[in-house]
Amino acid sequence: MTADDLGRTAPHAVTVDLYRAVRLIRRFEERAIEFVRSGEIVGGIHPYLGQEAIAAAVCAALTSADVITSTHRGHGHVLARGADPGRMLAELMGRETGLNKGRGGSMHAADFSLGILGANAIVGAAASIATGAAWAYRQQGRDTVAVTFFGDGAMNEGMLLEALNLAALWQVPVLFVCENNGYATTMPVGSAVAGSITARARAFGMPAFTIDGQDPETVLKASTAAVARARSGKGPMFLECLTYRFDAHHTFEHRARLDYRSPGEVAAGRARDPVAIQGARLPERERAAVDSEVEAALDAAAEFALGSAHPDPADPLKYLYAVMP
């Protein structure tokens, strides 16, 4: 489904597609955590659990000509943009068949054939990369919008504020999507951000809205409008999506048990579950059918990844240069 299709697609099909997307991300992440525990994935992951609506719905608002950049917590964006779950899982396991041939891992997954210009492990770094890519595509006469995902923590990176300025100054077709999950690792947003997140964006002269990031259809509506606006040449826009991280900042927390969120707060956060919200919009039997479809796809993905070869350590720096010096 694309933004162009939205008006013509039966609302029910949109509802099902969004449910499939959030369910796929949810179950992918739950299985990935199991693979971290079993040691198949080394280095751990930053689970996207709880934030699925944002990736699923924003990517549903894009066309195949568009591009995205992602973050250290990036599995949801990459899957929502259409990356093959088997190759994504193989990447997390460091296999040669992975999206990045096992050279990137969880924090750097990319699929340029789908316009995924990479997850980026430096907070706030990708916003200016997305801005540059969107500007370049416009120079080339392409009808491309770039979406850059980042968290509330990135709002304190000077480089991100510089990117907002460049994008607004040069009217670049880029959509800034801030996933405010309440914490930069363990730092609460209220202790980190003076003023307001959207006011910062508005100060650069771009429209900025705060929306419910837990409801996939709310996010779809807002991002469809934002993408259409960017595509029409009116410049960048900013969406702050209020969300909640259901699980750890990183899987190391499963052992470290850092004390920064009360059980009550976590329970309240988890009560607004995007998978449940979207699932409730489907008849039970249809939802179950999507669930089975997702499990079957993830079974196949796991089989593919686990059966894939490891890269050859004889050439660990393959791809370091486009042209070897």
Partner 1 sequence: MPKLSYLKALNRALGDAMELDPSVFLLGEDIRVAASNLTAGLSSRFGPERVIDTPLSEQAFTNFATGAALAGMRPVIEFQIPSLLFLVFEQIANQAHKFSLMTGGQCKVPVTYVVPGSGSRTGWAGQHSDHPYTLFAHVGVKTVVPATPSDAYGLLVSAIRDDDPVVVFAPSAALGVRDDVDFSTLAPVPLGVGRVARSGRDVTVVALGHLLQDALVVADELAGVGISVEVFDPRTVYPFDVDGLAASVAKTRRLVVIDDSNRTSGFAAEVLALAAERFTLDAPPRRVTRPDGAVLPFALALDRAVQPGRDQLVAAINAVLEDQ
Report the interface residues with partner 1, using CB under 8 A: 67, 98-104, 108, 110-112, 117-118, 120, 122, 125-137, 139-140, 146, 158-159, 162-163, 165-166, 169, 317-323, 325
Helix, strand, coil percentages for the chain (3-state, nearest 5): 50, 10, 35
Question: Residue 207 or residue 311: which is nearer to partner 1 going by CB?
Answer: 311
Q: Closest separation between CB of residue 33 and partner 1, Å?
A: 23
Contact 196, 242 (CB under 8 A): no
Contact 254, 248 (CB under 8 A): yes
Question: Residue 49 or residue 114: which is nearer to partner 1 going by CB?
Answer: 114
Q: Closest separation between CB of residue 114 and partner 1, Å?
A: 11
Question: Residue 101 or residue 270: which is nearer to partner 1 going by CB?
Answer: 101
* Strand order across the 146-151 sheet: 116-120, 67-71, 146-151, 174-180, 237-242, 208-212
Identity (one letter) of the amino acid at 176?
Answer: F
Question: Residue 263 or residue 316: which is nearer to partner 1 going by CB?
Answer: 316
Q: Closest separation between CB of residue 203 and partner 1, Å?
A: 15
Question: Residue 13 or residue 169: which is nearer to partner 1 going by CB?
Answer: 169
Contact 248, 181 (CB under 8 A): no
Question: Residue 88 or residue 146: which is nearer to partner 1 going by CB?
Answer: 146
Q: Closest separation between CB of residue 144 and partner 1, Å?
A: 8
Rounded to 10°, the helix 11-38/284-306 angle is: 40
Contact 135, 172 (CB under 8 A): yes
Q: Closest separation between CB of residue 127 and partner 1, Å?
A: 8
Contact 219, 58 (CB under 8 A): yes
Question: Residue 48 or residue 137: which is nearer to partner 1 going by CB?
Answer: 137
Q: Closest separation between CB of residue 126 and partner 1, Å?
A: 8
Q: Closest separation between CB of residue 169 and partner 1, Å?
A: 7
Contact 305, 81 (CB under 8 A): no
Surface-to-core class of residue 285, CB atoms within 10 Å of its CB (0-12 exposed, 13-18 middle, 19+ buried): exposed
Total residues found in the chain within this entry: 325
φ/ψ of 71, rounded to 5, equals -125, -175
Q: Closest separation between CB of residue 315 and partner 1, Å?
A: 11
Question: Residue 120 or residue 243: which is nearer to partner 1 going by CB?
Answer: 120
Contact 161, 203 (CB under 8 A): no
How far CA 47 is from CA of 33, 66, 138, in Å, comes to 8, 25, 34
Closest CA to 130 of 80, 184, 70: 70
